[in-house]
Amino acid sequence: MEIELDDIRNALAVSPFDDCAARLEMAHTHRLDFSHPESYRDGSVLILLYPGEGGLTLVLTRRTDTVEHHRSQISFPGGARENGEPLVATALREAEEEVGIPPSAVDVLGEMSPLRIPVSGFLVHPFVGFTPGRPEYRLDPREVAGVIEARLAHLLDPERRREEEQEFRGRRVMVPFYDLPGVERPPLWGATAMMLSALIERIRVVLQRKRSASPSD
């Protein structure tokens, strides 16, 4: 079943929905062992979709190996809140700074619940946006090593969720990740995968309702 823009809007409106449980599906086995900082700094990310050749397509970035946090990892455009700006403005500003997408080109569809990231001390607020065409990227070479475009339908395939054992702080832990074609390591895992998991599971609820409402053959 093709994923339509209204499906995304409806997914963000699903209530009640346990974002936390959906995110834990993509959390490694010892994430809850992290100690929490005394306070968290607000940040925002933009989960941006556009209509690609294979359907709605997700815009991700590969961080450089020189940034302060989460080096070389796959992430959404985003960063720290500045000067008390609205959190949605943070997400749009960072998307423009990192990959050159102007805020005027983005239709903000909604917001999901924030995610605490103990390692970096951020409380990250995810906003979902849509742009009507493939963006013309202008990358900030200090922060972004490249753009990764992933079909949303691909990510909804349960076979794309994989796990592997990794050594983490002296322990062997099972780490879930999304398998994206042609994507080098490290894969799509960690906080980005957790936020994406919440959106994917919301969409799955909407698609199941659509199938149930469709006349049977």
Q: Where are the beta strands (DSSP E) in 22-92?
A: 41-52, 55-63, 74-75, 78-80
Q: Kindly report the CATH number assigned to the domain that includes residue 174.
A: 3.90.79.10
- What is the average per-residue pLDDT within 164-169? 79
Q: Could you give the percent of the chain with pLDDT greater than 90?
A: 74
Higher pLDDT, 117 or 93: 93
Residue 45 belongs to some domain of the structure? yes
DSSP 8-class letter at 149: E
Q: Is the torsion defined by CA of 194, 196, 202, 205 positive or negative?
A: negative
Tokens of residue 179, six digits: 């398998």
What pLDDT, in 10s, does the model give residues 49-69? 999 998 999 999 998 887 666
**Residue 193 falls within a domain, yes or no?**
yes
pLDDT of residue 69: 61
Tally of domains in the chain: 1
Would residue 215 count as lying in a domain? no
Which of these ranges, 34-38, 71-75, 166-170, 204-208, has the smallest mean pLDDT? 34-38
Residue 121 vs residues 9, 13, 169, 176: alpha-carbon distances, Å: 30, 28, 18, 22
Instruction: Establish if 46 belongs to a structural domain.
Output: yes
Q: In the structure, what pLDDT confidence band is assigned to residue 70 with cuts at 50, 70 and 90? A: low
Q: What is the mean pLDDT of residues 148-157?
A: 95
Query: Does a structural domain hold residue 139?
Result: yes
The answer to whether residue 171 scores a pLDDT higher than 70 is: yes
Asked whether 16 and 52 are in contact (CB, 8 A), the reply is no
- Structural domain includes residue 164: yes
With 60 as the cut, is the pLDDT of residue 73 above it?
yes
Do strands 55-63 and 78-80 pair parallel, antiparallel, or not at all (unpaired)?
A: unpaired
pLDDT digits (tens, 9 = 90+) for 19-28: 999 999 998 7
What pLDDT is attached to residue 32?
Answer: 54
Give yes or no for residue 216 having a pLDDT over 80: no
- pLDDT, mean over the chain: 91
Q: What is the pLDDT of residue 173?
A: 83
Q: Which residue segment(s) compose the domain that 125 sits in?
A: 5-32+40-206
- Give a yes or no: residue 214 inside a domain: no
Average pLDDT over residues 133-137: 97
3-class DSSP state for residue 71?
A: coil
**pLDDT value, residue 181:** 85
Structural domain includes residue 211 = no
Query: What residues have CB less than 8 Å from 156, skipping those under 6 apart?
Result: 3, 200, 203, 204, 207
* pLDDT of 33 higher than 80: no
Using pLDDT thresholds of 50, 70 and 90, give the confidence band for residue 151.
Answer: very high
